[in-house]
Structure 1
Amino acid sequence: MKNYSIYILFVTVGLLISCKKEQEKPKVIYETTAKTANSIVVDTNKVLVADLPVHMDGTNYLLYPIGDLNFAKRMNYGSSNRNNSISYTVSNYGEYEITGFLNNIKFKEIGKDTIYALTDKPVIIQSATYLKDHASKNKQQLMVYVLGDMDTNKDAKLDESDIKALYISEINGKNFTKLSTDFQELIDWKYLEISNSIFFRTIEDTNKNGEMDSNDKVIYSKINLLDKEWKVENYDPT
């Protein structure tokens, strides 16, 4: 009986692993007709809520993180909080950075009534960072975003399984601009105060196997923030 139980255990584990592999999808699925975030199926069960406003020190704007309450519940599942209370928090705020899986961010200038959205397109914002050091040196207040903006795995939804992109805007959300290239996944980015530049790395699925791996090409890019057009330049340090 003991050996039979061990056999059942191994079979169960094997089935779970097999099911997990079947459920895993490539990050990019290529089709003859390109589909972007516009092909996303609208989730009618989605409940959007706004966190209390965030103020970046030295700016004149309030930022309201907007997120999916149902997604926030799933993220909070299994936490140490066992009192069955509902958490309406959809973001976290660190030093000059908002993180989470946000559907949008809304902006309001202090002293004015108008509240407006960063974008009217489907996105999943994972981080929004205020470049405080750049602002203090150059009087230019900017936000940098890491987000998903394309349904690259063609599952008709936009989530953390899709590739990440790099965006920038002014502190008021205006001039929201994509810096990375479509279908290139952001690896990381860095602001260097000494050169007033953002450096970032992306990876391109050059072998078209749907995954970003060591066989693909890493692309190095930078922008000079003092250039009003935020022109992206490629460089090769390798």
Structure 2
Amino acid sequence: MKNYIIFLVIIISFIACTKRDNRKVVNDTKDVSEVKKESKTVAIADLPFVIDSTTYMIHPIGNYTTHKSRSEYIGSSGSYTSDNISFTNFSKNRISGSISNVKFQHIDSNELKSLTKNILKIHSMNFLRDLYKKTENGYFVYNLTDKDTNADGDLDYNDLETLYISSLNGTGFRKLSPNGQDLVTWKTILEANKLYFKTIEDIDGNGEFDKKDKMHYFYLDLSVPNSKVIEYDPI
């Protein structure tokens, strides 16, 4: 029995060591419009979130995948259970989930304006509240996927993550991180009014990210509208 357990541990270790990296970059990637559609997905919106101390509401839009019949979604009370229909989480400064688009609405208007017409998957959007308090310039920073970089037919966490930014009302939505680079992390330095981020590039072209690849460092001046992303070398 002891020998069997040892043999099993060796097999599991071998499988773990040889498991392929799902975040690899495939050169012959499909256009994002060709990403496969789930047969049971429907576009739905969560109820709006009010961004505290601002005049805007946020309506997250998602592609919800159904796995049950209508009767299975309804509890004993005869109403839908909230945990089955919602697809986002909201905190004071952050909205996260599986979001395909966002619509913005001024609290004094009935008009809803879409963030984008592109196909993408927003993992999170963060309101830069401290900067807003200091400068009254409102920004959202987005962690998202905009390309099926591993060519598996899905936009998900196995594809490269990119960094985007928009104004408080959703205008000026643009990409900050370069194509072909995976976002590692980002942060704001309030004292300098700058957004800093770093990415990793598959510099050796082996289709996977490892220690042989190159790290890139960037900053964006948030005190200047539509400022350019600057790459710098801290090493």
Equivalent-residue separation in structure 2 for 1:192 and 1:40 (angstroms): 37
Q: Residue 228 of structure 2 is aligned with which of 224, 228, 231?
A: 231
Hey, which bits of structure 1, 4+ residues long, moved more than 3 A?
6-11, 17-26
Aligned pair count?
223
Q: Deviations over 1:35-80 (max 9, x none)?
A: 332332333421222222111112111101222332899xxxxxxx
The answer as to 2:92 corresponding to 1:92 is no
- Pairing 1:57–2:52 present: yes
Q: Does 1:168 align with 2:165?
A: yes
Q: 1:9 to 1:65 in 2, by over 3 A?
A: farther
Whole-angstrom distance in 2 between the partners of 1:219 and 1:59? 34
Which residue of the partner structure matches residue 149 of structure 2? 152
The answer to whether the Cα contact below 8 Å between 1:36 and 1:152 also exists between their aligned partners in 2 is: no
Q: How does 1:189-228 map to 2 (within 5 A)?
A: 189-228=186-225
CA contact (8 A) 1:118 1:176 kept: yes
Q: For 2:83 and 2:129, how far apart are their aligned partners in 1? A: 34
Structure 2 partner of 1:126:
123
Report whether the alignment pairs 1:101 with 2:98: yes
Whether the 8 Å CA contact 1:46–1:70 is kept in 2: the answer is yes
The partner residue of 2:112 within 108, 112, 115 is: 115
Q: Which secondary structure state, in structure 1, belongs to the residue aligned with residue 191 of structure 2?
A: helix
RMSD, matched Cα: 3.0
Aligned to 1:46: 41
Alignment partners' CA distance in 1, 2:39 and 2:228: 38
Q: Is the 8 A contact 2:57 2:107 kept in 1?
A: yes
Comparing 21-30 and 172-181, the one that deviates more: 21-30
Question: What secondary structure, in the 3-state scheme, does the structure 2 residue paired with 1:227 have?
Answer: coil
Runs of 5+ consecutive residues of structure 2 not aligned to the other structure: 69-80
Could you say if the C-alpha distance between residues 22 and 202 of structure 1 is closer, same or farther in structure 2, counting changes exceeding 3 Å?
closer
Identify if the C-alpha distance between structure 1 residues 38 and 19 changes in structure 2 by more than 3 Å, giving closer, same or farther: farther
Structure-2 separation of matches of 1:72 and 1:124 = 20
Alignment identity in percent? Answer: 35
Question: What's the secondary structure of 2:41's corresponding residue?
Answer: coil
- Please report the TM-score for the alignment, with normalisation by the length of structure 1: 0.82
Contact 2:100 2:119 in 1 (8 A): yes
Structure 1, unaligned runs of 5 or more: 74-83
Distance 2:118 2:128 in 1: 24
Residue 175 of structure 1: SS of its match in structure 2?
A: coil
Residues 1:100 and 1:72: Cα distance change in structure 2 (over 3 Å): farther
How far the C-alpha of 1:127 sits from its partner, in A, is: 0.9
**1:114 Cα deviation from its structure 2 partner:** 1.4
CA distance in 1, matches of 2:67, 2:135: 37
